Amino acid sequence: MRTVWFLLIKEFRQIFRNPTLVRIIFLVPVMQLLILPLAADYEIRNITLAVVDHDRSSASRELVSKIAASTYFLVASAPATYASALRSVEEGDCDIILEIPHGFGRELARDQNTTVMIAANAINGVKAGLGSSYLGAIINEFSGGVLVQHRKVRREGIVVMSVNWFNPQMNYALFMVPGILAVLVTMMGSYMAALNIVREKETGTIEQVNVTPIRKHHFILGKLIPFWILGMVVFTIGLIVGRIAYGVVPEGSVVLLYGFVALFLLSIMGLGLLISTYAATQQQAMFISFFFIMIFILLSGLFTSIESMPAWAQVISRMNPVTYFVEVMRMVILKGSSALDILPQAGAVLIFGVVFTLWAVMNYRKTS
């Protein structure tokens, strides 16, 4: 332990002698956590709409008013023909076209079948799908109100009551902050660890270390522990920023969160050190780390549900330590899950950490 202690003093001195590295470690995660949850919002608003109203009745005007009163749509134009509306879509001036046929109001009042057409610009598939769904829901609600008004249906019908557990207001910041904090801890731990041994190689100080009687596992521990501590500090700062900026308060045990983060950092930093033992330059280490981290993030379930992925992607996601970290962050922070609930994820992350760290120790050679 005395040997490891001197290695830790050396590593911390090297870290804090580099002011740029210190700013990257502490300032960059704070800025990203403040900005990213605001941008990563799945709710689509301000969808521009072109309304082609062939009916021009009180019913059609009421429908357009109801759509415009929602917070999702902006009625950008009211062209006379569908061809004119289509040109506005082609020119990028509107996202969705709503075409109301002749006789819309009359047929609706008579309880006859009537149709409207929705045409969406599907270049942005998410915006087109959600926008069409929002518009369809507003139209259905409007038609139901008209039928009730004309006494075509009874007011006493099936009443559906929905309850959103764990995030009642459907606040996407509460959903995204835990996941983004997991990604930031992942990036900091992996990149810093990956550059660690390589930096010694490029500066030539690795030769001085190799001629000392320091054992391989002492050397790896000396490289691992400082950034493990800094990763815990970054996580603490992220929790504080999430609470102050977004009101995210963990429902579960904070101690449990820290315990899992400690295991996860062992796993992801072990991978970074493993990359560092293979890479010859910092540029190589950065590219290899970027390759793995991008795959880990995209297949972690942060932005896309794992259950909706293809079968082969679901298999890969279960070999991804970041998947388990994102799951546990949301389970503990939003649901208040206990230690027994996250035991499978903790076991998987522990296996990753042991394998990566032992692999890094065995792969490190005290020879040029």
Q: Are 304 and 149 in contact (CB under 8 A)?
A: no
Environment class of 95 (CB within 10 Å of its CB; exposed 0-12, middle 13-18, buried 19+)? buried
Q: State residue 318 phi and psi, 5-degree precision.
A: -80, -10
CATH of domain 47-149: 3.40.1710.10
pTM: 0.76
Q: What is the per-residue pLDDT across 151-199, written as a single tens digit (0 to 9) for each? A: 544 444 445 566 677 777 777 778 888 988 998 899 888 888 888 778 7
Task: Please tell me the distance from the alpha carbon of residue 335 to that of residue 150, in angstroms, as a whole number.
Answer: 45
Determine the pLDDT at residue 168: 75
Angle of helix 216-246 relative to helix 172-203, nearest 10 degrees, comes to 150
- Give the whole-angstrom CA distance, residue 20 versus residue 25: 9
Q: What is the pLDDT of residue 210?
A: 67
Look at residue 23 in the predicted model and tell me its pLDDT: 81
Candidates 264, 293, 258; CA nearest to 353 is 264
pLDDT of residue 39: 72
Q: In a 3-state reduction of DSSP, which class is residue 309?
A: coil
Task: Work out the number of other CB atoms within 10 angstroms of the CB of residue 218.
Answer: 18
Low-confidence ranges of the chain (pLDDT < 50): 152-158
CB atoms within 10 A of CB 194: 31
10 Å CB burial of residue 26 (0-12, 13-18, 19+) is middle
Please give the pLDDT value at position 25: 80
Average pLDDT, the chain: 84
Delimit the domains of the chain by residue range.
2-40+170-363, 47-149
CA distance 301 to 298: 7
